């Protein structure tokens, strides 16, 4: 019988990483440069492994091959086969990430045999005066962008948004962006690790080397006509579920739980819960799964009814 699955976090050290993944989310790392915790991944070479219950030690890939529609849902299996369509992360930026963008499905398929990388961010914690870079601060053309890039004045046209916990952003393919220093966030995205880095603050690694830039191929990935509606404006009271983002690749809601709630899965899809505040207990036909801040659980599509109980928790609820 399938049950709610938790997975071993895959920790990625980064030049810009820090210690919040361990200190605030209790991740198993002592690194001073832990930048990402991949919570749920089917990226080649980084496949998640179950950490709880009777199937502990089983890879996500094996789960999909063994249980197909029961795990994924019929429509997801028809569309994606045994390729899990989402990559779920927590990201800690002690320093600014590179300024970057991602290709759309068509370009990613042609160049990398990959999905594109539509994604969203939910800010879990932010130091005072922390920023995200999303989009430009003025109408943009290819010509003006290249002029600023060549003149090394790219920063002058970037949009810097000051952020705090709870702020949410939808990062469509073709949009320039970067996570700023001091921000800890949850990221939900298509299963893709394709990033085009266009500016890296002229920094070098411990050996004095600059990281590779991708300006020659990135220019074709830009969508300069994209409307500047990247910040998600939502009104959320102290209880219940509020939609944050809904797109063809995923739907994400913020769910605040302060007692006991019952969930009916009518989506023909798996459901993912990321705990961003507090802790909660999931009850599936008497099978209890504990979820604390910084943890993620995958509810198979075949588990249609379950409950969540807690004194207080905020959860990101994700499905297709």
The catalytic residues are 197
65-92 in b/e form (b: 16+ CB < 10 A) is: eebbbbbbbeebbeebebebbbbbbbbb
Q: How far apart are CA 33 and CA 50, in angstroms?
A: 25
Chain length of the chain: 320
β-partners of residue 133 are 160, 178
Kindly write down the DSSP assignment for every residue of 230-299, as one continuous string.
-B------SSEEEEEEE-SS-EEEEEEESSEEEEE--SSS-EEEEEEEEEEEEEETTEEEEEETT-EEEE
Residue 187 pairs with which residues in a beta bridge?
89, 121
What long-range pairs does 135-144 form, CB within 8 A, spacing at least 24? 135/159, 135/175, 135/176, 135/177, 135/226, 135/228, 135/230, 136/176, 136/228, 140/224, 141/224, 142/219, 142/222, 142/224
Helix (H) / strand (E) containing 40: strand 34-40
Decide: 116 and 190 in contact? Cβ < 8 Å.
yes
Structure tokens at 142: 């290819």
Q: What is the DSSP letter of 103?
A: -
For residue 115 the two structure tokens come to 């999905």
Helix, strand or coil, per DSSP, at residue 133: strand
How far is 104 from 124, CA to CA, in rounded Å? 27
């Amino acid at each position: 019988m399938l049950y709610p699955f938790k997975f071993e976090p895959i920790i990625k050290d980064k030049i810009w990483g820090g210690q919040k993944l361990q200190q605030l989310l209790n991740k198993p790392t002592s690194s001073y440069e832990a930048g990402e915790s991949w919570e749920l991944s089917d990226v080649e070479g980084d496949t998640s492994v179950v950490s709880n219950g009777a199937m502990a030690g089983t890879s996500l890939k094996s789960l999909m091959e063994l249980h197909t529609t029961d795990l994924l849902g019929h429509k997801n299996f028809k569309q994606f086969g045994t390729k899990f369509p989402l990559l779920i992360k927590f990201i800690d930026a002690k320093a600014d990430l590179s300024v970057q963008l991602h290709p759309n499905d068509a370009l990613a398929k042609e160049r990398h045999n990959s999905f594109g990388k539509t994604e969203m961010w939910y800010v879990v914690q932010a130091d005072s005066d922390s920023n995200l870079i999303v989009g430009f601060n003025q109408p943009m053309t290819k010509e003006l962008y290249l002029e600023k890039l060549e003149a090394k004045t790219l920063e002058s046209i970037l949009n810097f948004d000051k952020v705090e916990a709870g702020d949410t952003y939808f990062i469509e393919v073709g949009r320039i962006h970067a996570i700023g220093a001091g921000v800890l966030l949850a990221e939900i995205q298509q299963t893709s690790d394709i990033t085009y880095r266009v500016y890296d603050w002229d920094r070098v690694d411990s050996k004095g080397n600059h990281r590779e830039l991708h300006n020659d191929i990135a220019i074709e990935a830009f969508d300069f006509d994209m409307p500047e509606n990247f910040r998600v404006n939502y009104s959320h009271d102290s209880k219940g579920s509020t939609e944050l983002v809904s797109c063809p690749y995923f739907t994400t809601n913020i769910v605040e739980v302060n007692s006991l709630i019952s969930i009916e899965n009518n989506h023909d899809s798996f459901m993912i819960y990321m705990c961003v505040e507090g802790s909660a207990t999931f009850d599936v036909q008497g099978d209890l799964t504990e979820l604390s801040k910084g943890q993620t659980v995958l509810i198979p599509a075949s588990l249609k009814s379950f409950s969540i109980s807690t004194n207080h928790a905020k959860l990101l609820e994700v499905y297709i």
